[in-house]
Amino acid sequence: MRLGVLFSGGKDSCLAMHRAAACDDVVCLVTVFPENRESFFFHTPNLHLTRLQAQAIGLPQVVVDSPGRQEEEIADLSAAIAQASEEHGVEGIVTGAVGSVYQATRVQRTCEELGLWCFNPLWQLDQVQLLWELVREGHQVIVSG
């Protein structure tokens, strides 16, 4: 299956991408850049680095800018996913969602509306276990606050 990864550049989206790539064809990264640094839905720290990560990984990146207004964020997400589907033949979306029901259900609903599969490989994974898996798999992670 051809997959796009909702990609913030953080540890969760990176691990989710690696999990998905082990069994399916990851064809692009999808990143929404909210103007609002206090976005309720999107990860905002260091998003500018995702372009470098995409280049290093060798995957195209779909980038959509968003005002980051809570009531409009899902429409911006939908536009980004639809663009990935159109440009890269994406059949499903991978998320790094671990425990946010708010995020997971909205991505799932968006994918369903677009006729795409949604894969949450880290869902409900214990945070300590997640960190150990990153170490065990050889990821070099810097945790910052």
pLDDT of res. 39: 66
Model confidence at 145, in pLDDT bands (50, 70, 90)?
Answer: low
Domain that holds residue 11: 2-136
Q: Are 110 and 142 in contact (CB under 8 A)?
A: no
Is residue 145 included in any domain, yes or no? no
Please give the average per-residue pLDDT across 90-113, as a whole number.
92
The sheet with strand 117-119 has its strands ordered as: 61-66, 25-34, 2-6, 92-94, 117-119
* Residue 91, pLDDT score: 98
Q: Share the mean pLDDT of the chain.
A: 90
Asked whether residue 141 is assigned to any structural domain, the reply reads no
**Measured distance CA(59)–CA(75) in Å, rounded:** 24
pTM of the model: 0.90
Domain count along the chain? 1
Pairwise pLDDT comparison (6 vs 70), residue with the higher score: 6
CATH code assigned at 67: 3.40.50.620
Residue 86 banded pLDDT, cuts 50, 70, 90 = very high
What is the rounded average pLDDT of the residues 120-124? 93
